[in-house]
């Protein structure tokens, strides 16, 4: 399947994407993961993105479109993709539309995962991410066995630099200002599926019901 996952930071886009990859072999493409990888590797891309990311601001549309034009043409995308964290602005959505037309491809849906703000704030401040393998934990609902140490690889499970209260509240504002308008954009395109996300499984069920896979 070819899906866009829309939703505020902490809505569970990444979790849903990971579950969906197991259903039909679609690949998860997370622009956040790609950018964090570039920052960790100290590449030119990482250097350009780092300051905006730490502050919870968006990196430029040009930078993101450069990454995604290449990524969407890689072979593993032929079996479908789950776009997690992209597009994030109306210009990115427009550019994606043009790109897909050029490639002769159609999206199945843009899925809006709707989670109340207080739930999101709580989730993000308690989230811990492994610096080495990217595994995600939660100090309340899914803690590591040993505090601060990843169960899977022994790496450091830490609070992301953009998961301080201040950066989180900025990311939520950025989402409301720049990304929430995509809901209207995809509604116009006839692609919108809005799901009240009580659980990731409920989101998966709604997606399967809609696109029939
Ligand atoms: P979130 O948990 O907020 O959904 P992501 O992991 O998707 O976070 O992204 C982390 C950061 O990477 C964002 O705050 C932003 O700085 C940058 N980023 C990721 N995707 C995009 C995008 N499509 N456009 C602009 N910036 C992006
Ligand atoms: Zn790990």
* Residue 128 covered by a domain: yes
Place of tokens 């897909």: 100
Q: Which ligand is nearest to the CA of 136?
A: 2
Q: Is the CB of 162 under 6 A from ligand 1?
A: yes
> pTM, whole model, 2 decimals?
0.87
The minimum-distance atom of ligand 1 relative to the CA of 162 is 14
Give Cβ neighbours of residue 18 (< 8 Å, ≥ 6 apart): 28
**What's the pLDDT tens digit per position in 57-112?**
999 999 999 999 999 999 999 999 999 999 999 999 999 999 999 999 999 999 99
pLDDT of residue 177: 96
* Residue 34 covered by a domain: no
* Residue 15 covered by a domain: yes
Average pLDDT, the chain: 93
Least confident residue range of 26-30, 84-88, 166-170, 196-200: 196-200
Please, where are the H alpha helices in 27-152?
Answer: 31-41, 44-55, 61-71, 90-103, 117-125
| Residue 123: both structure tokens together | 């989730």
Domain with 162 in it: 2-26+79-211
* Residue 12 covered by a domain: yes
CATH number at residue 126: 3.40.50.300
* Residue 41 covered by a domain: no
Active-site residue, 13 included = yes
* Residue 149 covered by a domain: yes
Give Cβ neighbours of residue 159 (< 8 Å, ≥ 6 apart): 127, 128, 129
46 pLDDT higher than 80: yes
pLDDT over 90 percentage in the chain: 74
**Number of domains the chain is built from:** 1
Closest residue by Cα to atom 15, ligand 1, is: 58
């Amino acid at each position: 399947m070819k899906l866009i996952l829309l939703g505020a930071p902490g809505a569970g886009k990444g979790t849903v994407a990971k579950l969906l990859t197991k259903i039909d072999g679609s690949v998860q493409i997370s622009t956040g993961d790609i950018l964090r990888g570039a920052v960790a590797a100290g590449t030119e891309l990482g250097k350009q993105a780092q300051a905006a990311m730490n502050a919870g601001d968006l990196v430029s549309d040009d930078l993101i479109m450069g990454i995604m034009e290449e990524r969407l043409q890689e072979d593993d995308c032929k079996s479908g993709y789950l776009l997690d964290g992209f597009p994030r602005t109306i210009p990115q959505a427009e550019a994606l539309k043009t790109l897909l037309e050029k490639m002769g491809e159609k999206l199945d849906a843009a899925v809006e995962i709707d989670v109340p703000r207080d739930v999101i704030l709580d989730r993000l401040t308690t989230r811990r991410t492994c610096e080495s393998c990217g595994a995600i934990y939660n100090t309340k609902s899914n803690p590591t066995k040993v505090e601060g140490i990843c169960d899977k690889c022994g790496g450091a499970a830490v609070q992301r630099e953009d998961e301080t209260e201040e950066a989180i509240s900025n990311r939520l504002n950025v989402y409301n200002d720049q990304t929430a308008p995509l809901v209207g954009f995809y509604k116009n395109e006839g692609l919108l599926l809005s799901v009240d996300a009580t659980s990731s499984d409920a989101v998966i069920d709604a997606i399967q019901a809609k696109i029939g896979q």
